[in-house]
Amino acid sequence: MYTSRTGATRDGCAMFWRKNRFELLEGEDIKFKDHNLKDNVAQLCVLQTKSKTLGRNDTEDSEATNGTEPTTSGSSGSKNNRVVVGNIHVLFNPKRGDVKLGQARILMEKAHALSEKWGKVPVAIAGDFNSTPGSALYQFISSSQLDLADHDRRNISGQEEEGLNGGFKRERNGTNSGSSYDAEAGAEEVSALNAESSVVLERTIDSSESTVATIGEEDLATHIVHQKITRLTVERVSIPKRVRGWDPFELMAATGERHLSVVQHKMNLRSAYSEIEGKPGSRDERGEPLITTFHKKFGGTVDYIWHTDDLVTVRVLDILPISVLQDYRGRPKIVLKDCEGLPTKKWGSDHLALACEFSFVPSKDTSSRKAEQESA
């Protein structure tokens, strides 16, 4: 299943599955351009495990059955387990936190909807989220919500664009603080409110009725000349005053609404890698890999595998030791080889591979029936 990025860049997202182990029940392409959120793309599919009578080496083909009616017969703990699998490549631009949040939000909303449609099935979402552990975007995914008033839009991802000479990144926490940013934020707030202002004119028709007309500020002079004005007021859209640095369009991108300051999703997600202990010196304080990508603009962790509670992480593929990329002074080794980061002849991608094995958690109903049978 391949989804090409929109725009001029020729890349995209793809998902593969073993046709002898899974069948595709439904697939969905997500093109963020359709939501005014740049040219990035994401994918979702609903997979169902095949009968256990099929062996590991069986090659029976399966075709997408998008017309299949969703039922609960394939929910966790049944013979044929179902799972929603997602894949995304979030916008890189560190300053567009609004777009990053919006892209992640839409993927989460659609993944949750598919899970509900097919019987509240488990969800696993992987991809390049272009955000560091501890960032506001990471917090949004892991805690299901984020109050934008507490964060600088330009630091939502925790990324810092650094060249190779800068070494490995130090993430930013993305919180608001007193600085020149505050002054700029105030200016943006005033500008945003002015853009949303309208003028309400009221004039008396006779003693028993009146008419209210709403016009733009540019037409105010014309109306004043031709109408007898008895009252003039300026109304402003009720944008939360404390969301400094976020204009209505950025709030719309992040939350889906122009007047909301909190972005939310409905799933309880965990990071697979944070649940499995890694080798000494390979993980940060949250259990995430120290590095999953390294190129001329950035080095750090931006890739994750998220899952709902009804999947259990059994094991993960450990990452390339960071010592392989550093010299004895802690600087990137590849700098000494006149490279611009990954990929190299030895490692063919600017990202390190992540992989994990999940186990389905039996549903409560299935567990209860099994316990009753054993006690009978």
Ramachandran angles phi, psi of 14, nearest 5°: -145, 150
Q: Is residue 298 part of a domain?
A: yes
Q: Is residue 242 part of a domain?
A: no
pLDDT band at 282 (very low <50, low <70, confident <90, very high): confident
Average pLDDT over residues 244-252: 91
Q: What percent of the chain has pLDDT over 90?
A: 51
Q: Is residue 301 part of a domain?
A: yes
**C-alpha separations of 162 from 75, 294, 368 in Å:** 46, 10, 54
pTM of the model: 0.73
CATH number, position 48: 3.60.10.10
245 or 217, greater pLDDT: 245
Give the chain's domain count. 2
Question: Which pLDDT tens digit goes with each residue over 11-28?
Answer: 899 999 999 999 999 999
Question: Which pLDDT tens digit goes with each residue over 45-55?
Answer: 999 999 764 44
pLDDT at residue 93, rounded to an integer: 94
pLDDT at residue 233, rounded to an integer: 56
Question: Which pLDDT tens digit goes with each residue over 251-274?
Answer: 999 999 998 999 999 999 999 999
63 three-class SS: coil
Residue for token pair 């204009």: 247
| Same structural domain, 63 and 192 | no
Question: Which pLDDT tens digit goes with each residue over 288-332?
Answer: 999 999 877 788 999 999 999 999 999 999 987 777 776 545 556
pLDDT at residue 372, rounded to an integer: 52
Q: Is residue 13 part of a domain?
A: yes
Average pLDDT over residues 133-161: 93
| Same structural domain, 150 and 192 | no
88-125 exposure pattern, b = at least 16 Cβ within 10 A, e = fewer: bbbbbebebbbbbbbbbbbbbebbbebbeebbbbbbbb
pLDDT band at 158 (very low <50, low <70, confident <90, very high): very high
Q: Is residue 240 part of a domain?
A: no
| Same structural domain, 17 and 103 | yes
| Same structural domain, 166 and 201 | no
Q: What is the mean pLDDT of the chain?
A: 76
| Same structural domain, 27 and 105 | yes
pLDDT band at 10 (very low <50, low <70, confident <90, very high): confident
pLDDT at residue 157, rounded to an integer: 95
Q: Of the spans 121-125, 215-219, 243-247, which averages the highest pLDDT?
A: 121-125
| Same structural domain, 187 and 168 | no
Average pLDDT over residues 203-222: 42
pLDDT band at 162 (very low <50, low <70, confident <90, very high): very low
Residue range(s) defining the domain that contains residue 136: 2-172+248-375
Q: Is residue 52 part of a domain?
A: yes
Question: Which pLDDT tens digit goes with each residue over 61-104?
Answer: 444 444 455 654 444 444 579 999 999 999 999 999 999 999 99
DSSP per-residue letters across 156-218: TT------GGG-S------B--SSHHHHHHHHHHHHHHHHH-EEEEEEE-SSS-EEEEEE-GG
Q: Is residue 87 part of a domain?
A: yes
pLDDT at residue 169, rounded to an integer: 52
| Same structural domain, 91 and 146 | yes
| Same structural domain, 221 and 261 | no
| Same structural domain, 161 and 12 | yes
Query: What's the CA gap between 340 and 166, in Å, rounded?
Result: 12
Q: Is residue 241 part of a domain?
A: no
| Same structural domain, 18 and 114 | yes
| Same structural domain, 44 and 110 | yes
Question: Which pLDDT tens digit goes with each residue over 335-375?
Answer: 545 566 788 777 888 899 999 999 999 866 545 545 554 55
328 or 279, greater pLDDT: 279
Query: What's the CA gap between 358 and 319, in Å, rounded?
Result: 18
- Does position 248 have pLDDT exceeding 90, yes or no? yes
| Same structural domain, 225 and 269 | no
